[in-house]
Amino acid sequence: MLAVVFDKPNKYKLAEVAKPLIAPGKVLIQVKSTTICGTDLKMFQGHVPYISYPHIPGHEFGGLVEEIGEGVVDIKVGDKVGVEVHVGCGSCSRCNEGFYNLCLNYGNFEKGHAHIGFTSPGGLAEFCLVPAEAVHVLPGGLNYDHGAFTDAIGIVLWAIERAGGIMEGENVVVVGPGTLGLLAVQAVLSFGAGQTILVGTAKDEKRMEIAEGFGDVKTLNIHSVDDPISEIKNLTNDLGADLVLEFAGTTSAANFSLNAARRGGRVVLGGATSPGTKLEIDLSIIVRGHLDVFGTMANPKRISQLANIMMGKGEIDIQPLITHHMKLSQFDQAWDIFSNRTEEVLRILLHPGEVDVGLN
């Protein structure tokens, strides 16, 4: 099968590799739509420490069930599916609480852990073998492209859940207008948020326009005003946000988020940060501001099933976030566009095999 292979940091190739063989408890998926994510770029650069090279990346994909292994139930050959990437051992204390994203046996295949596209081969290939626990059968009306967003939307929904959800009418600030930020804007609107503000920079103008198309959304370019925090307060009755969701993964975004919250507000830091990222903050902002600050990673407790339901109801629209459809065989071109952030790229969907690109 054709696959993208990261040979070592800063080197990749498109290559023919062996097709995975079915195994008990596993599902073999014929990949139909798969994406490149910013984490793949960090992985390529060698900034993800638990990757063993050579490695097949790809952790956001949808496809068709080709085979099921012994013991697999509730999934059948021919199902259209999406995949979430974390599968825990199922026996440690974190897994028993439903937090398989925090599995204490991370990377231990013998105990059942898998992190698809990270510690096990991913979906930037024609086929991918995954544990059945990672598979979400798509509701009727959804296609393979929707399946490729199952994991990303789950990440956003879990970030909101970490903060206790959203009460109707609460003011929400989303920091970072990438794919996760744009999905978060749609999610909070569907949950009844009041004033919803998306924060970005001068280079994010096109993404801000996309967000404004989702509904009653204010956008703030921090480079266009002298005091962005004052602008946040002006838009929230001089209070600040009830909830801030950060998806930029930088120290400046984290600092901004903590300052944008009202007294007694909630802040969720959900951007993908590399190990060693240091945050300097005036601690009194948190202590005297009585802030609840949450870190969040991934999407436990099968919350990605809700992602598929919301897409099925039209509460989250993925189409404005897909800027390119290309064949997997065009990966070189896709990688150049994505890694250099040209052509106002958001999500590039790659389609392995002989499929009608964009008609999935």
CATH label of the domain that carries residue 265: 3.40.50.720
Tens digit of each residue's pLDDT (9 = 90 or more) over 260-304: 999 999 999 999 887 788 899 999 999 999 999 999 999 999 999
- Residue pair 174/197 in contact by the 8 Å Cβ criterion: yes
pLDDT of residue 354: 59
The reply to whether 110 and 217 lie within a common domain is no
The reply to whether 7 and 49 lie within a common domain is yes
Distance of alpha carbon 334 from alpha carbon 327, whole angstroms: 9
340 domain-assigned: yes
312 domain-assigned: no
The dihedrals phi and psi of 303, each to the nearest 5 degrees, come to: -70, -20
306 domain-assigned: no
Using a pLDDT cut of 70, give the percent of the chain over it: 98
The reply to whether 173 and 209 lie within a common domain is yes
- Residue pair 251/279 in contact by the 8 Å Cβ criterion: yes
The reply to whether 242 and 331 lie within a common domain is no
Q: Which two tokens stand for residue 334?
A: 């896709």
Report how far Cα 140 is from the mean position of its chain's Cα atoms: 23
pLDDT of residue 31: 99
Domain containing residue 109: CATH number: 3.90.180.10
311 domain-assigned: no
Counting beta carbons within 10 angstroms of the beta carbon of residue 130, is it exposed (0 to 12), middle (13 to 18) or buried (19 or more)?
buried
Tens digit of each residue's pLDDT (9 = 90 or more) over 111-142: 999 999 999 999 999 999 999 999 999 999 99
The reply to whether 198 and 263 lie within a common domain is yes
pLDDT of residue 277: 86
Structural domain span for residue 207? 156-295
216 domain-assigned: yes
The reply to whether 261 and 235 lie within a common domain is yes
pLDDT of residue 342: 86
The reply to whether 137 and 173 lie within a common domain is no
Q: Around 143, how many Cα atoms within 13 Å sit in the side-chain half-sphere?
A: 13
pLDDT of residue 353: 80
The reply to whether 22 and 58 lie within a common domain is yes
197 domain-assigned: yes
Please name which of 155, 142, 143 lies closest in space to residue 181, comparing C-alpha atoms.
155
The reply to whether 66 and 84 lie within a common domain is yes
pLDDT of residue 360: 47
pLDDT < 50 stretches in the chain: 356, 358-360
The reply to whether 164 and 125 lie within a common domain is no
pLDDT of residue 50: 84
Q: How many domains, in total, are found in the chain?
A: 2
The reply to whether 49 and 134 lie within a common domain is yes
